[in-house]
Amino acid sequence: MSPRYTDILIFLTCITYTAALHCLNCTNDIPPRYCSTVRKCNDGEVCFTKSHTSENGTVLFDTGCKSSQACGLGHNNNHGVDQLHHHTLCMECCSSPLCNNKGCSQSGYPSNRGPICFDCQNISDPTLCDRLKVCEVNQACYLQKEVESGNLHYTSGCINKQACTSSVDIFGKRNIDGCSKCCLRDLCNIQCK
Protein backbone atom coordinates (compact mmCIF):
# COMPACT_ATOMS: atom_id res chain seq x y z
CA MET A 1 0.00 0.00 0.00
CA SER A 2 1.45 3.39 -0.95
CA PRO A 3 2.18 5.95 1.83
CA ARG A 4 -0.19 8.50 0.27
CA TYR A 5 -3.06 5.98 0.11
CA THR A 6 -2.40 5.01 3.75
CA ASP A 7 -2.50 8.68 4.82
CA ILE A 8 -5.82 9.20 3.06
CA LEU A 9 -7.26 6.03 4.57
CA ILE A 10 -6.20 7.08 8.08
CA PHE A 11 -7.67 10.56 7.53
CA LEU A 12 -11.02 9.16 6.36
CA THR A 13 -11.10 6.71 9.25
CA CYS A 14 -10.70 9.58 11.71
CA ILE A 15 -13.62 11.52 10.25
CA THR A 16 -16.86 10.42 11.81
CA TYR A 17 -20.25 11.98 11.60
CA THR A 18 -22.28 11.64 14.73
CA ALA A 19 -25.85 12.77 14.66
CA ALA A 20 -26.81 14.72 17.71
CA LEU A 21 -28.78 12.87 20.35
CA HIS A 22 -32.22 14.41 20.81
CA CYS A 23 -34.14 13.70 24.02
CA LEU A 24 -37.55 14.69 25.30
CA ASN A 25 -37.14 17.64 27.67
CA CYS A 26 -39.98 18.35 30.14
CA THR A 27 -40.29 18.98 33.87
CA ASN A 28 -43.11 17.88 36.18
CA ASP A 29 -45.02 16.44 33.25
CA ILE A 30 -47.50 13.63 32.74
CA PRO A 31 -46.13 10.43 31.14
CA PRO A 32 -43.08 11.23 28.98
CA ARG A 33 -44.63 10.34 25.62
CA TYR A 34 -46.82 13.46 25.93
CA CYS A 35 -43.82 15.78 26.19
CA SER A 36 -43.61 17.87 23.02
CA THR A 37 -40.32 19.66 23.77
CA VAL A 38 -37.00 18.23 22.65
CA ARG A 39 -33.42 19.08 23.48
CA LYS A 40 -30.23 18.33 21.58
CA CYS A 41 -27.79 16.84 24.09
CA ASN A 42 -24.19 17.91 24.41
CA ASP A 43 -21.33 15.50 23.81
CA GLY A 44 -21.09 13.05 26.70
CA GLU A 45 -24.78 13.32 27.58
CA VAL A 46 -27.57 10.76 27.35
CA CYS A 47 -31.35 10.90 27.76
CA PHE A 48 -32.91 10.45 31.18
CA THR A 49 -36.34 9.92 32.68
CA LYS A 50 -37.04 10.52 36.34
CA SER A 51 -40.39 9.80 37.97
CA HIS A 52 -41.30 11.29 41.31
CA THR A 53 -44.31 12.03 43.44
CA SER A 54 -45.35 15.58 44.06
CA GLU A 55 -46.32 16.82 47.51
CA ASN A 56 -49.95 15.86 46.78
CA GLY A 57 -49.00 12.33 45.64
CA THR A 58 -49.28 12.79 41.86
CA VAL A 59 -46.69 10.86 39.83
CA LEU A 60 -44.81 13.27 37.57
CA PHE A 61 -41.90 12.90 35.16
CA ASP A 62 -38.81 14.90 34.34
CA THR A 63 -37.03 14.18 31.06
CA GLY A 64 -33.97 15.63 29.35
CA CYS A 65 -30.24 15.20 28.89
CA LYS A 66 -27.80 14.25 31.63
CA SER A 67 -24.10 13.48 31.78
CA SER A 68 -23.48 9.84 30.98
CA GLN A 69 -21.27 9.70 34.08
CA ALA A 70 -24.17 10.87 36.26
CA CYS A 71 -26.21 8.06 34.74
CA GLY A 72 -23.60 5.44 35.59
CA LEU A 73 -24.27 2.18 37.35
CA GLY A 74 -26.07 2.53 40.62
CA HIS A 75 -28.04 5.62 39.55
CA ASN A 76 -30.81 3.87 37.65
CA ASN A 77 -33.90 3.22 39.71
CA ASN A 78 -32.51 4.99 42.79
CA HIS A 79 -35.08 6.11 45.29
CA GLY A 80 -34.89 9.15 47.53
CA VAL A 81 -36.06 12.71 48.09
CA ASP A 82 -34.71 15.64 46.05
CA GLN A 83 -34.23 19.26 47.11
CA LEU A 84 -37.84 20.09 46.14
CA HIS A 85 -39.13 17.33 48.46
CA HIS A 86 -40.15 15.14 45.53
CA HIS A 87 -39.97 11.45 46.31
CA THR A 88 -38.00 9.83 43.49
CA LEU A 89 -39.58 6.62 42.28
CA CYS A 90 -37.36 5.89 39.29
CA MET A 91 -34.33 7.27 37.46
CA GLU A 92 -33.37 5.74 34.10
CA CYS A 93 -30.97 6.69 31.33
CA CYS A 94 -30.79 5.63 27.69
CA SER A 95 -28.80 6.60 24.63
CA SER A 96 -30.91 6.55 21.47
CA PRO A 97 -33.01 9.39 20.01
CA LEU A 98 -36.19 10.07 22.04
CA CYS A 99 -35.63 6.84 24.02
CA ASN A 100 -36.83 8.56 27.20
CA ASN A 101 -40.42 8.51 25.87
CA LYS A 102 -40.77 5.10 27.51
CA GLY A 103 -38.52 5.58 30.52
CA CYS A 104 -39.46 4.42 34.01
CA SER A 105 -41.66 1.62 32.64
CA GLN A 106 -44.00 3.93 30.71
CA SER A 107 -45.71 2.65 27.56
CA GLY A 108 -43.99 5.07 25.18
CA TYR A 109 -45.19 6.12 21.75
CA PRO A 110 -47.93 4.01 20.15
CA SER A 111 -46.77 1.56 17.48
CA ASN A 112 -49.51 2.62 15.03
CA ARG A 113 -48.38 6.15 14.23
CA GLY A 114 -46.63 8.24 11.64
CA PRO A 115 -43.16 9.68 12.16
CA ILE A 116 -42.22 11.99 15.02
CA CYS A 117 -41.35 15.32 13.43
CA PHE A 118 -39.85 18.64 14.40
CA ASP A 119 -42.74 21.11 14.47
CA CYS A 120 -41.75 24.80 14.24
CA GLN A 121 -43.15 27.75 12.34
CA ASN A 122 -41.14 30.67 10.97
CA ILE A 123 -37.80 29.73 12.54
CA SER A 124 -34.49 31.18 11.29
CA ASP A 125 -32.59 27.86 11.43
CA PRO A 126 -34.29 24.43 11.39
CA THR A 127 -31.68 22.98 13.75
CA LEU A 128 -32.98 25.33 16.47
CA CYS A 129 -36.44 23.77 16.48
CA ASP A 130 -37.29 22.37 19.93
CA ARG A 131 -40.90 21.28 19.39
CA LEU A 132 -42.13 17.83 18.34
CA LYS A 133 -45.31 16.38 16.98
CA VAL A 134 -46.33 12.75 16.56
CA CYS A 135 -47.82 12.52 13.06
CA GLU A 136 -50.80 10.45 12.04
CA VAL A 137 -50.24 7.26 10.03
CA ASN A 138 -51.13 9.00 6.74
CA GLN A 139 -48.70 11.88 7.35
CA ALA A 140 -45.02 12.59 6.72
CA CYS A 141 -42.56 15.10 8.14
CA TYR A 142 -41.83 18.18 6.08
CA LEU A 143 -39.34 21.03 6.05
CA GLN A 144 -39.64 24.04 3.81
CA LYS A 145 -37.30 26.98 3.37
CA GLU A 146 -39.28 30.10 2.50
CA VAL A 147 -38.88 33.78 1.79
CA GLU A 148 -41.75 35.97 2.84
CA SER A 149 -41.56 39.77 2.72
CA GLY A 150 -37.81 39.46 2.12
CA ASN A 151 -37.20 37.36 5.24
CA LEU A 152 -35.80 33.83 5.14
CA HIS A 153 -37.38 31.29 7.47
CA TYR A 154 -38.15 27.59 7.80
CA THR A 155 -41.38 25.81 8.58
CA SER A 156 -41.55 22.18 9.73
CA GLY A 157 -44.16 19.74 10.96
CA CYS A 158 -46.50 17.00 9.77
CA ILE A 159 -48.23 17.01 6.39
CA ASN A 160 -50.46 14.63 4.46
CA LYS A 161 -48.32 12.20 2.43
CA GLN A 162 -50.29 13.04 -0.73
CA ALA A 163 -49.14 16.68 -0.49
CA CYS A 164 -45.54 15.46 -0.63
CA THR A 165 -46.00 13.97 -4.08
CA SER A 166 -47.50 17.15 -5.49
CA SER A 167 -45.37 19.20 -7.90
CA VAL A 168 -46.55 22.40 -6.19
CA ASP A 169 -44.64 23.75 -3.18
CA ILE A 170 -46.08 22.47 0.08
CA PHE A 171 -47.66 25.78 1.11
CA GLY A 172 -47.68 27.69 -2.16
CA LYS A 173 -45.15 30.18 -0.73
CA ARG A 174 -41.96 31.07 -2.50
CA ASN A 175 -39.55 28.17 -2.03
CA ILE A 176 -35.87 29.01 -2.53
CA ASP A 177 -32.84 26.83 -3.13
CA GLY A 178 -35.05 23.80 -3.73
CA CYS A 179 -35.57 23.11 -0.04
CA SER A 180 -38.96 21.54 0.15
CA LYS A 181 -38.54 18.19 1.85
CA CYS A 182 -40.83 15.40 2.96
CA CYS A 183 -39.52 12.35 4.82
CA LEU A 184 -40.88 9.39 6.74
CA ARG A 185 -38.36 8.70 9.55
CA ASP A 186 -38.49 10.08 13.08
CA LEU A 187 -36.72 13.46 13.39
CA CYS A 188 -35.82 13.52 9.69
CA ASN A 189 -36.96 17.10 9.02
CA ILE A 190 -34.18 19.04 10.75
CA GLN A 191 -32.13 19.88 7.64
CA CYS A 192 -32.64 20.05 3.88
CA LYS A 193 -29.76 17.79 2.92
Query: Alpha helix locations (H) across the chain?
Result: 3-14, 161-164
Taking a C-beta distance cutoff of 8 angstroms, is the pair 48, 102 a contact? Answer: no
Asked if residue 76 and residue 46 are part of one domain, the reply reads yes
**Residues spanned by the domain of 158:** 116-183
Among the candidates 51, 78, 102, a domain finishes at 102
Radius of gyration of the chain (CA): 20
Asked if residue 72 and residue 26 are part of one domain, the reply reads yes
The CATH number of whichever domain residue 46 belongs to comes to 2.10.60
Tell me what pLDDT residue 174 has.
47
* pLDDT tens column, 158-174: 999 998 876 444 555 44
User: What mean pLDDT is predicted for residues 112-139?
Assistant: 96
* pLDDT tens column, 87-106: 889 999 999 999 999 999 99
Tell me what pLDDT residue 43 has.
94
Among the candidates 52, 75, 102, a domain finishes at 102
Nearest to 62 by CA among 99, 116, 100: 100
Asked if residue 77 and residue 127 are part of one domain, the reply reads no
Number of domains in the chain: 2
Asked if residue 28 and residue 98 are part of one domain, the reply reads yes
Tell me what pLDDT residue 13 has.
30
What's the one-letter identity of residue 72? G
Tell me what pLDDT residue 5 has.
39
Taking a C-beta distance cutoff of 8 angstroms, is the pair 159, 184 a contact? Answer: no
In a domain, 53, yes or no: yes
User: What mean pLDDT is predicted for residues 15-39?
Assistant: 84
